[in-house]
Amino acid sequence: MTPSGDAAPERETESGLPLEPAYRAGLPEPAPPGEFPYVRGVRADGYRSRLWTMRQYAGFGSAEQTNQRFHYLLRAGQTGLSTAFDLPTQMGYDSDDPMARGEVGKVGVAIDSLADMETLVHGIPQDRVTTSMTINATASILLLLYELAAERQGIAAERLGGTIQNDILKEYAARGTFIFPPRPSMRLVTDTFAYCAQRLPRWNTISISGYHMREAGATAPQEIAFTLANGIAYVQAAVDAGLDVDAFAPRLSFFFNVSNDFFEEVAKFRAARSLWAEIMRDRFGARDPRSQALRFHAQTSGATLTAQQPLNNVVRVAVQALAAVCGGTQSLHTNSYDEALALPTEQAAEIALRTQQLIAHEAGAANVADPLGGSYLVESLTVGLVDAARELMDRVDELGGAVAAIEENFYQRHIQDAAYRHQRLVESGDRVIVGVNRFTETGQRDVEILRVGAELEAEQVRRLQEVRAGRDRAVVGRALEVLRDEAEGTGNLLPPMREALAAYATVGEVAGTLRGVFGMYRPTAVF
């Protein structure tokens, strides 16, 4: 009871988990950092010997413009690259395709062929800087272009490090940049696993993503459950394809959102590590500790950024980034304050990077592994999230696994229900969004925004036409015929794709060849 005798108002986490007014000891102490099931982190010393990779997401306009932004961020102290691609590239269309009109270079960089990739990585030490590529349906194509561009700089494939997102299942559940139906898409994923095991041993072949499901409205338990259920589907598909689990599982990585509820987010990462370790050991028989340890990239939540009072986003991002660090992320992107309005300006991108550097070098959070371990609240939330996520994962298993659950719209219904609940709370004022539904009076000035001009598309199309005019059309045609034949069979698709791309076949031509065999996915209504 409160001093006045009135009952304290009920509170809950952002995801709807009930909160007590205070917490006390009572839960068993988890294993130390670096020990199974890695609740407290995958490294015994946390960040003491090596900080997380500061990997700012960048990409807009042409390959040349994005290359300039990459070099700017590296000079500012960024320690890894992260590439955003425009929608035509993500969907497998060339920049001169009618489907690409008005979208070229708008939400990421336009990459049509090896010529563009060579420009994108010009002057980048690909053997010393790891690169993450946020690409899914065309992930194998962009990876091959990256490998070929490195070879033209004299860098061997086995020296390349980085990550492709390559998580197609969450596209059907939340994001929408799919091309092919789920089952041939899964074939491309496992073909990439096998290809990289032979040629790119340092490459993370998938970043199993909960980020976009959370952005679409998922709760923290749903983000954990659906992400790990997708991970199970990928591992099972690779095992079914004849791969040894300990041969590929150490190169799996995850990608999580960091939302506003600081303590719930810290607990979410701890819960996810615990569940994945158990899954890999007990379900798949993985014996290599690297196969059991969940490693993840985190990105602060774009959905929480507001166009109203955009400078408030600096604070939101700082709180979210601190939660990611306290939760033990291996890599982090901090959003820029202007992202609710446009692509980030250089100034906004620099402030986002400086936020990470301040946390790393001034806040003290990097000095101790799992700094919130032992907090009564965080330990309780960790257990609660494990239980809630495990219950959802059991239901996915009952439906036949992630692919079947997505095909039956199980993920989609749960995410939409959670998004609807959140929106009702915001509109009623029960969930406060500062500057949006409360504290709306402002003296903040408008911020400068980055604009991608219409002339970019015409210039990109001109460069694409030059590439087509300068290549050997007969060689490209034969390579695409071989790819079509392999797609109709059961062989690994990456070697014939590589041959076509090396001859300067375009992203649209390679994806179009596969469309002709696999068809296109048409989602059914969720409601």
What is the structure's pLDDT at 447?
A: 83
pLDDT value of position 112: 98
* CB count in 10 Å sphere of residue 231: 25
CA atoms lying within 13 Å on the CB side of residue 95: 30
d(CA 404, CA 233): 10
Give the whole-angstrom CA distance, residue 83 versus residue 67.
10
CB 44 within 8 A of CB 293: no
Whole-model pTM over 0.85 = yes
Percent of the chain with pLDDT over 70: 98
* Count of C-beta atoms within a 10 Å radius of residue 300: 29
pLDDT in tens, 411-467: 999 999 999 999 999 999 999 999 999 999 877 677 888 777 778 999 999 999 999
Q: Sign (positive/negative) of CA torsion 174, 55, 271, 268?
A: negative
Contact 38, 294 (CB under 8 A): yes
Residue 4 is predicted with a pLDDT of 52
Q: What is the pLDDT of residues 149-182, one digit of tens each?
A: 999 999 999 999 999 999 999 999 888 999 999 9
- Nearest residue to 13 via CA among 348, 337, 421, 435: 421
pLDDT band (50, 70, 90) for residue 1: very low
For residue 2, is pLDDT > 80? no
> Which strand (E) or helix (H) includes residue 18?
strand 18-19
Q: Which pLDDT value is given to residue 158?
A: 95
List pLDDT tens digits, range 306-326.
Answer: 999 999 999 999 999 999 999
Do 160 and 151 form a contact (C-beta atoms < 8 A)? no
CB 135 within 8 A of CB 85: yes
Position 527 scores a pLDDT of 44
HEC secondary structure over 125-169: CCCCCCEEEECCCCHHHHHHHHHHHHHHCCCCHHHCCEEECCCCH
d(CA 248, CA 240): 13
The CATH class for the domain spanning 36-428 reads alpha beta
Those residues with Cβ within 8 angstroms of residue 90's Cβ, 6 or more apart along the chain or in another chain: 108, 135, 136, 137, 138, 177
pLDDT per position as a tens digit, 475-488: 999 999 999 999 99
374 vs 378: CA distance, rounded Å: 7
| Long-range interactions of 31-39: CB distance < 8 A, separation 24+ | 33/369, 33/370, 33/373, 34/369, 36/277, 36/281, 36/289, 36/292, 37/273, 37/274, 37/277, 37/278, 37/292, 38/273, 38/274, 38/277, 38/292, 38/293, 38/294, 39/270, 39/271, 39/273, 39/274, 39/382
Output the furthest CA–CA distance in the chain (Å, rounded).
85
Express each pLDDT in 34-68 by its tens digit. Answer: 999 999 999 999 999 999 999 988 899 999 999 99
Beta bridge partners of 254: 208, 296
Q: Residue 360: its pLDDT value, please?
A: 98
pLDDT at site 525: 58
Question: E strands along 85-135, which residues?
Answer: 131-134
User: Residue 250 pairs with which residues in a beta bridge?
Assistant: none
Burial of 420 (0-12, 13-18, 19+ CB in 10 A): exposed
Domain boundaries, the chain: 36-428
Q: What does the pLDDT look like over 124-139, one tens digit per residue?
A: 999 999 999 999 999 9
Is residue 342 predicted with pLDDT exceeding 90? no
